[in-house]
Amino acid sequence: MCGIAGFSNFDADYTCSQSNYVSILENMSDTLYHRGPDENGHYLSRHFGLAHARLSIIDLANGKQPMYRSVGGYTYAICYNGELYNTAELRNDLIAKGWKFKTTSDTEVILIGHIEYGTSFVEKLNGIFAYAFVNEKDQEISLYRDRNGIKPLFYTLFNNTLLFGSELKAIFAYPEYQPRVDKNGLNEIFSIGPARTSGCGIFKDIYEILPGHYLMHKDGFMKLHCYWKLISKPHTDSYEETIEKTRFLVTDSISRQMVSDVPICTFLSGGIDSSLVSAVCAYELKKQGKQLQTYSFDFVNNDKYFKSNPFQPSSDKPYATKMVEFLDSKHTYLECDNYTMADCLYESVDARDLPAMADVDSSMLHFCRQVKQFNKVTLTGECADEIFGGYPWFHKEECFNANTFPWSMDINARKSFLSDSFLAELRMEDYINKTYEASIAETPRLSEDSKTEARRREISYLNLRWFMQTLLDRMDRTSMYSGLEARVPFADHRIIEYVWNVPWSIKYKDNMVKHLLRESARGLLPDEILFRKKSPYPKTYDPAYEQLLQKRFIDIIENPSSPILTFIDKKKVYQFLNSPSDYAKPWYGQLMAGPQMIAYMIQVNYWLEKYHIDIL
Crossing angle of helices 594-610 and 358-372, rounded to 10°: 70
Crossing angle of helices 543-557 and 594-610, rounded to 10°: 40
DSSP calls for 295-319: EEEEETTHHHH---BTTB-S-SHHH
| Largest interatomic CA distance in the chain | 72
Amino acid at 459: I
Q: Are 330 and 302 in contact (CB under 8 A)?
A: no
* Alpha-helical segments (H) within 328-391: 338-352, 358-372, 384-388
Active site (annotated) includes residue 383: no
Burial bucket for residue 97 (CB in 10 Å: 0-12, 13-18, 19+): exposed
Crossing angle of helices 358-372 and 468-480, rounded to 10°: 40
- Looking at residue 252, what DSSP letter applies? H
Q: Are 327 and 278 in contact (CB under 8 A)?
A: yes
Q: Are 142 and 77 in contact (CB under 8 A)?
A: no
Strand 127-135 relative to strand 74-84, pairing: antiparallel
CA–CA distance, 369 with 187 (Å, rounded to integer) = 32
CA–CA distance, 116 with 98 (Å, rounded to integer) = 10
CA–CA distance, 551 with 547 (Å, rounded to integer) = 6
CA–CA distance, 569 with 260 (Å, rounded to integer) = 52
Phi-psi region of 527 (alpha: psi -120 to 50; beta: other; left: phi over 0): alpha
CA–CA distance, 216 with 409 (Å, rounded to integer) = 38
- Looking at residue 166, what DSSP letter applies? S
Of 2, 281, 344, 368, which one is the catalytic site residue?
2
Active site residues: 2
